[in-house]
Amino acid sequence: MKKSLKIIFLLATVLALCSWGEKAVELLDSRKLIDLEKAIEISSPGGAAVFEDEGNDSDTEQSGSQNSSSKMLVITVRDEKITYNQKSVSGAEELAKKVSMDLKDGMKISLVDDYAEAHVYRDVLKALKAVRSEHDFELSFE
């Protein structure tokens, strides 16, 4: 008798704890919880906030820089691979050497974050900061 009471009590407890009477979730109003289009519009492309001393808006730089592609150097970072003008580079130090050799006054550098590893992207930014102390160039982010 005690065993059957314990089983009945246990089943009743389990049913009560497992939401025997479920209630549907109701929102307070019909507004969107998040406006995805606005969130995408506001977001900055990967790493623009990391380069602290750069105050320029990257979107305005990109539109003007694509017109003069001959004066533009493109650096792409994907995973741990660094590509400089569509040629693979072994590291940030080699990148800094190649950029300072190819760089002329008034040139623009476009840094593309193509799902880069964070530590590699930061190393590239440090290398570009070092080159910036020697040469004058504009930097845009994609």
User: In terms of residue numbers, what domain contains 67?
Assistant: 46-141
* Position 136 in a domain: yes
Q: What is the pLDDT of residues 31-84, one digit of tens each?
A: 777 777 777 777 766 544 444 444 444 444 444 444 444 478 889 998 889 998
* Position 106 in a domain: yes
Give the pLDDT confidence score for residue 66 in this predicted structure: 44
Give the pLDDT confidence score for residue 115 in this predicted structure: 86
* Position 123 in a domain: yes
Give the pLDDT confidence score for residue 6 in this predicted structure: 92
* Position 118 in a domain: yes
Which is more confident, 135 or 23?
135
Please give the tally of structural domains in the chain.
1
Q: What is the pLDDT of residues 100-114, one digit of tens each?
A: 888 887 788 889 888
Q: Where are the alpha helices (DSSP H) in the chain?
A: 2-17, 36-42, 58-65, 92-102, 118-134
* Position 12 in a domain: no
Give the single-character DSSP code of 69.
G
* Position 66 in a domain: yes
136 vs 36: CA distance, rounded Å:
38
3-state secondary structure of 120: helix
